[in-house]
Each structure stands twice: as structure tokens, then as C-alpha cells.
């Protein structure tokens, strides 16, 4: 998945002007501070942290200070280094591995050194899971054991859906959030994120990331990266934010028009971790026999198949009954056979319009097969749940309705807001992994002023790609990023378990730690095989696979404890120099 950014020079120039304007605005805002008129504006335009995050970070630093001192790292209240963990996406592989990595950080007494955790895609699933416990940082044993627990029952999931389906914005996003939450994280916690704003500082501060789809496809880089914290939601590079409790409410020209209830974590999880909602992800699943161009009609057909396949897979993880499970397998196989039946001769004999009709017919055929299957089930709870699911979910799949959110920048009269945002009443947030599969953008630059980024890499695809994409992104938005030696990139077929990219002056240092590596794979072949065995799109992992991933992530962390300590020490020294310089 590539970044698409044309006209770079133009945007960089524009950004330059824009930053100057912002500084003026920030100063203006600062001058007015303490005056109530400032507080009435619901959209915050500023390069600094919002007061809520600032207070959290200040208090969290006391925890970090104690943590570092107990590791014999010398620093004072004024010189606490800013250390963040940035976990990559990667479906269930990353969701589970992150839990393992954090577990071991706790065991090594390193968890308290983290000021922040930033996540995208699969890692946001485990963040949403962990933060449902306000004290998770001191409860990692439980977090790990719940992952191996009994999980959510289909009936419970269906009850949640019944409630949600009454909502006017009910969409595939809810289904996706539900299934990843119940099926993969084995939990369903309907809290909302802004409730966490009042928590104490036991945990690192969470930053969840997404990208905005309209701007992702045709807009400037500044309109893409989106971040959500317990306090605020907004565009990282535009420096425009609203309070998280207003995220989803209706705005026009910067004024709050209508307050809406805040979305819960289940829906948020659906928004943050659904690469399926984007057109590009079907590339990997085009059947071999397809010998016609993949036009829109073909895409629609493959999308429907892909979503059905995933919904069925995740549904099976909420079920214990062997009969029901084998019924789901039967359905999965029926659909698989329908899509993999070689029709290349027929397709080639048709013109574009006829092909379009055929694809549409096939699309309905898949949905029809699910309905027929549902009716063929023996009467009982499973059949009832399935009937409800098919009634609610199939129409959404056919209409391809993914969740949109009211756009707080709608008609906002400010030159910095790109057209792709200003003109749309709704924006559409999608999986940030489509741009960069690690939350680097939210942590670059002066705002969070990070000294050290610990980046366990759980992504699929080419190793180091998240890093080089982030480097290029940083260059485009003119924020410091450490040098990456091109020699290192040659190790992508069989990477080491830990790389340090050392930052100079304002650049952060990055510790990059591939999940599979030279320590746990004897050669490039085994590395490739492991990546395949734990690929992103597959049925939920067996307990053995979950345990294997947990162990792998724990061991990686443990093996590199000394490197982490050394870099934390350097980060503390650097922060001290920064404060004195």
C-alpha cells in the first residue's frame, strides 16, 4: 500500500505559509487565554497539546520518572524523556503480539517508562481491549489470560447489534467493530473513549489513528492523518481538533449545530481497523482464473465475497457448538466454490455491459446462497441469530454501506482546510494502515516532542516499509526523522530482531523490532513461511497460534531489554541537554 501524493513541492510551500499562519493564530489564542470567548469555540486550531492531554502527560511524567529512576536511569522531574510505543497494524497478528509485548514490558519493569501508546488498525483493537481496564498496566496477567478465555457468545453479540441497528448511522462499520471486538479480542465493552479523559495516570496516554478517505484518495497530505485521544479528535497536520465527546456531532462553519451521542468503542474499533472498507484491499484475493480487467463491477463482486468471507470467519469465533461450526464451514466452502469456479471463457465472450450484468447477478447469487443456507438450518438459537444477522447485514453488504461521521470541518471558513474536507458534510475514516501501518505521523514534530519511539513491527508485507513511508511522510511535512541506512533495507528478507535508528538533535530515535527475525527464524525461507502462516486475512487464530504469537512477542522484548535500557538512558541525557540548551 503506497502513499499517493502528487504536487509535493506545492503542498510543502503551502504548508510553510500555513505553519506561519498557525503560529500567529496560536499566539493570538495564547494572548486571549483565560478569556471565556476562546473556550466557546468548539474547534481548536493550535500547534500545542490540548490542556487535558497536557495535564495528563505532566502527571504521567511522575510515574515515568519513578520508573526510570528505579531502572537506575538518571533524570529529574524537569528532564523526563518522552518515550512512546508505536505498535503497527496487522490484524489479529498485531493485536495479539502487542499484548504479548506489553506483558513483557511490565515484567521487565519498563512499562512505566512509556508516556504514550499510539496505534493503527489491528493494534487499536488491542488498545481498545486493554483500556477497558482502567488499571491494565498493572494487570497484564489478566489481559493475557482473557485473550485465551471463553470470549463473547453469538447471542450477546446479536443483542448488541439489535440495539445498534436502530441507529440511523448503523453500517458495516458496526458489524466490523463487533466482530473484531467479540471474535478476536473476546470482549465487548460499549464505553466511549471520552470517559477515559478523567482517569488517573496508571496507563500511558493512548492515541488512536485513522485516515480520511476522501482526502486519502484525492486530497493533500495534510487532510489525511487523523488522531483520536480521550480528549480530542482531529487532523494531525491541519492542527484542527474537537473534543472527543463532540466527535460525530454536526458542525457547520465551525459552529456546533447539533450534538449527537458519542460513538462507543465498538464502533470506533470498526472504523480504525477495517482495511476491508477500502477498494484496494481486494488485490490479493482476485481469483486466478480472472482474465478480464478488474473494473468497478468486478470489484463490487469481489468486495461482497471478501466481506461475507470475513463475517463468516469472525462469526465462527463466537461459537462453540460443533454443529453450528460445521454449518459455517459448509457455507464458507459453498461461497469459495462459487467464486473459484473457472468462468474465464464465458467472461471473455461478453462485452463490458454484459459482464457488468453478470457480475451483478453473481453478487446477488452470493447473498442468495447465504440466505438459502440460513433457511436450511435446524430450528434453534443458532438459526435465530443467523436469521437476524442475514436480515441486518446482507442489505448493508449489498449497498456497501460503511460508517461515515459528521465532518466537524464542514464549510469551515479557513484557508488551511482542503476542499476534500470543507465540502463534505460527512467524512469517512478508514484504516490508517492504508497510508502508513504505524502511527508515526501523530508523534512527529514539536507537539508531542518524542525522544524515543519503540516500534515493534507486526506488519505484513515488506519489512522496513512502514519506516521508509514514515521517513518520506516526515520529509513532506518537514518534521525531523532519523536517517535510515539503505544497507539495512537489504535485510528485509530476513531481518534482525532489533534495529536502532538514532536521532540527532530534534530527530527521535527509533527502535524497530520485527516480530519474525533472525533470532526466531533460521533463514529467509523460514521467515517467509512464518509470515505466511500468520498472514493478516485468515480465520481467527487457534489457541496454539495465539500462544505462539504471545510468546514470540514476549521473547523479542526480553531479548532486547538491554538495548531498550541503553536507549532510554540516552533519551534521558538528550532531554537533559534539550532542557539546558
Ligand X SMILES: *[C@@H]1O[C@H](CO)[C@@H](O)[C@H](O)[C@H]1NC(C)=O
Residues that bind ligand X (CB under 6 A): 34-35, 63, 74, 135, 191-192, 194-195, 200-202, 245, 261-262, 288-289, 342, 344-345
Q: What is the largest CA-CA distance in the chain?
A: 75
CA 19 to the chain's CA centroid: 27
Q: How far is the CB of 343 from ligand X (least distance, A)?
A: 8
Ramachandran sector of residue 3 (left: φ over 0; alpha: ψ -120 to 50; beta: rest): beta
Q: How far is CA 320 from CA 92, 153, 323, 328, in A?
A: 20, 9, 9, 12
Closer residue to ligand X in complex, CB, 13/200: 200
Residue whose C-alpha is closest to residue 554's, from 152, 100, 39: 100
Nearest approach, Cβ of residue 302 and ligand X (Å)? 16
Q: What radius of gyration, in Å, describes the C-alpha atoms of the chain?
A: 24
| Residue 443 burial (10 A CB sphere; 0-12, 13-18, 19+) | buried
Of the two residues 53 and 222, which places its CB atom closer to ligand X in the complex? 53
**Cβ-proximal residues to 255 (8 Å cutoff; 6+ apart), any chain:** 42
CB 309, min distance to ligand X, A: 19
Least Å distance between CB 202 and ligand X? 4
Question: Can you spell out the DSSP letters for 109-154?
Answer: T-GGG-SEEEEETHHHHHHHHHTTSTTGGG-HHHHHHHHTS----H
Nearest distance, CB of residue 562 and ligand X, angstroms: 18
Closer to ligand X by Cβ: residue 4 or 200: 200
Closer to ligand X by CB, 19 or 71: give it: 71
In the complex, the smallest distance separating the C-beta of residue 341 from ligand X, rounded to whole angstroms, is 10
* Shortest Å distance, C-beta 554 to ligand X: 25
User: Nearer Cβ to ligand X, position 228 or 455?
Assistant: 228
Q: Which residues contact 372 (CB under 8 A, 6 or more apart)?
A: none
Q: Which is nearer to ligand X, 301 or 473 (CB)?
A: 301
Closest CA to 578 of 449, 445, 474: 449
**Least distance from ligand X to the Cβ atom of residue 515, Å:** 30
CB of 131 to ligand X, least distance (A): 14
Q: How far apart are the C-alpha atoms of 106 and 117, rounded to whole Å?
A: 14
Q: Based on CB atoms, which residue is closest to ligand X, 196 or 507?
A: 196
How far apart CA 118 and CA 356 sit, in angstroms, is: 43
Smallest distance, ligand X to C-beta of residue 284, A: 16
Cβ(151)–Cβ(184) under 8 Å?
A: no
Q: How far is the CB of 27 from ligand X (least distance, A)?
A: 15
Cβ closest to ligand X, residue 290 vs residue 537: 290
Q: How far is the CB of 211 from ligand X (least distance, A)?
A: 24
- Please identify, using beta-carbon distances, which residue of 266 and 469 lies nearer to ligand X: 266
Are 83 and 451 in contact, with CB atoms under 8 Å apart?
yes
Q: In whole angstroms, how far apart are CA 98 and each of 111, 448, 449, 455? A: 13, 22, 23, 10
Contact 45, 64 (CB under 8 A): no
Of 77 and 288, which has the nearer Cβ to ligand X? 288
Which residues, including other chains, have CB under 8 Å from residue 216's CB and lie 6 or more apart? 224, 430, 434, 435
Strand, helix or coil for residue 520: coil
- Using DSSP's 3-state secondary structure scheme, residue 260 falls into coil
Cβ proximity to ligand X, 191 vs 528, nearer residue: 191
Q: For residue 222, count other CB atoms closer than 10 A to its CB.
A: 23
Q: Would strands 116-120 and 426-427 be described as parallel, antiparallel, or unpaired?
A: unpaired
Residue with smaller CB distance to ligand X, 97 or 244: 244
CB atoms within 10 A of CB 468: 14
We find the least distance from the C-beta atom of residue 546 to ligand X, in angstroms, to be 29
> Which of 106, 127, 116 minimizes the C-alpha distance to 454?
116
- Smallest gap from Cβ 287 to ligand X, in A, equals 8
Residues facing residue 500 across a β-bridge: 511
Nearer to ligand X, 9 or 34 (CB): 34
Amino acid at each position: 500500500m503506497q502513499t499517493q501524493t502528487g504536487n509535493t513541492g506545492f503542498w510543502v510551500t503551502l504548508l510553510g505559509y500555513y505553519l506561519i499562519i498557525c503560529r500567529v493564530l496560536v499566539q493570538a489564542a495564547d494572548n486571549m487565554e483565560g478569556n471565556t470567548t476562546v473556550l466557546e469555540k468548539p474547534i481548536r486550531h493550535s500547534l500545542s497539546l490540548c490542556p487535558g492531554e497536557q495535564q495528563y502527560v505532566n502527571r504521567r511524567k511522575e510515574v515515568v520518572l519513578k520508573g526510570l529512576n528505579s531502572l537506575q536511569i538518571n533524570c529529574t522531574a524537569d528532564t523526563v524523556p518522552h518515550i512512546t510505543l508505536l505498535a503497527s497494524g496487522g490484524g489479529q497478528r498485531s493485536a495479539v503480539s502487542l499484548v504479548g509485548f506489553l506483558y513483557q514490558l511490565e515484567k521487565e519493569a519498563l512499562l512505566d517508562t512509556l508516556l504514550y501508546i499510539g496505534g493503527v488498525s489491528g493494534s487499536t483493537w488491542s488498545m481498545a481491549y486493554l483500556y477497558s481496564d482502567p488499571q491494565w498496566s498493572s494487570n497484564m496477567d489478566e489481559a493475557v489470560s482473557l485473550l485465551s478465555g471463553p470470549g463473547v457468545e453469538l447471542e450477546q453479540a446479536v443483542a448488541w447489534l439489535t440495539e445498534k441497528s436502530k441507529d440511523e448511522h448503523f453500517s458495516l462499520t458496526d458489524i466490523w467493530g463487533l466482530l473484531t471486538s467479540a471474535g478476536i479480542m473476546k470482549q465487548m465493552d460499549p464505553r466511549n473513549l471520552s470517559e477515559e479523559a478523567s482517569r488517573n495516570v496508571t496507563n500511558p496516554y493512548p492515541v488512536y489513528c485513522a485516515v480520511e478517505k476522501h482526502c486519502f484518495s484525492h486530497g493533500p497530505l495534510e487532510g489525511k492523518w487523523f488522531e483520536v485521544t480521550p480528549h480530542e479528535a482531529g487532523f494531525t497536520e491541519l492542527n484542527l481538533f474537537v473534543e472527543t465527546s463532540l466527535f460525530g456531532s454536526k458542525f457547520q462553519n465551525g459552529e456546533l449545530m447539533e450534538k449527537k451521542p458519542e460513538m462507543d468503542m465498538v464502533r470506533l474499533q470498526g472504523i480504525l481497523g477495517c482495511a476491508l472498507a477500502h477498494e484496494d484491499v481486494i488485490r490479493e484475493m482476485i481469483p486466478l482464473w480472472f482474465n478480464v480487467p478488474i473494473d468497478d463491477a468486478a470489484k463490487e463482486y469481489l468486495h461482497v465475497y471478501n466481506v461475507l468471507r470475513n463475517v463468516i470467519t469472525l462469526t465462527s469465533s463466537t461459537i462453540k457448538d460443533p454443529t453450528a461450526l460445521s454449518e459455517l464451514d459448509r457455507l464458507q466452502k459453498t461461497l469459495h466454490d462459487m467464486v473459484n469456479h473457472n468462468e474465464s471463457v464465458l467472461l471473455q465472450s461478453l462485452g463490458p455491459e454484459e459482464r457488468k450484468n453478470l457480475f451483478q447477478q453473481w453478487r446477488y447469487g452470493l447473498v442468495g446462497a447465504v440466505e438459502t443456507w440460513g433457511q436450511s438450518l435446524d430450528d434453534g438459537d443458532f438459526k435465530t441469530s443467523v436469521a437476524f444477522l442475514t436480515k441486518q447485514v446482507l442489505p448493508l453488504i449489498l449497498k456497501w454501506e460503511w460508517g461515515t461521521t459528521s465532518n466537524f470541518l464542514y464549510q469551515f471558513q479557513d484557508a488551511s482546510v482542503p476542499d476534500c474536507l470543507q465540502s463534505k458534510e460527512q467524512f469517512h475514516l478508514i484504516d490508517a494502515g492504508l497510508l502508513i501501518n504505524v502511527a508515526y505521523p501523530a508523534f512527529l514534530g514539536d507537539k508531542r516532542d518524542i525522544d524515543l519511539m519503540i516500534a515493534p513491527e507486526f506488519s505484513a508485507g515488506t519489512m522496513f516499509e512502514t519506516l521508509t513511508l514514515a521517513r518520506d511522510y516526515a520529509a513532506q511535512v518537514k518534521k525531523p526523522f532519523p536517517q535510515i541506512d539503505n544497507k539495512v533495507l537489504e535485510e528485509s528478507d530476513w531481518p534482525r530482531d532489533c534495529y536502532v535508528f538514532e536521532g540527532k538533535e530534534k530527530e527521535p530515535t527509533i527502535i524497530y523490532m520485527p516480530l519474525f527475525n533472525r533470532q526466531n527464524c533460521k533463514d529467509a525461507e523460514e521467515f517467509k513461511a512464518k509470515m505466511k502462516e500468520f498472514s493478516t486475512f485468515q480465520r481467527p487464530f487457534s489457541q496454539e497460534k495465539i500462544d505462539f504469537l504471545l510468546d514470540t512477542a514476549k521473547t523479542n522484548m526480553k531479548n532486547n531489554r538491554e538495548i531498550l535500557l541503553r536507549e532510554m538512558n540516552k533519551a534521558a541525557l538528550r532531554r537533559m541537554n534539550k532542557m539546558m540548551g
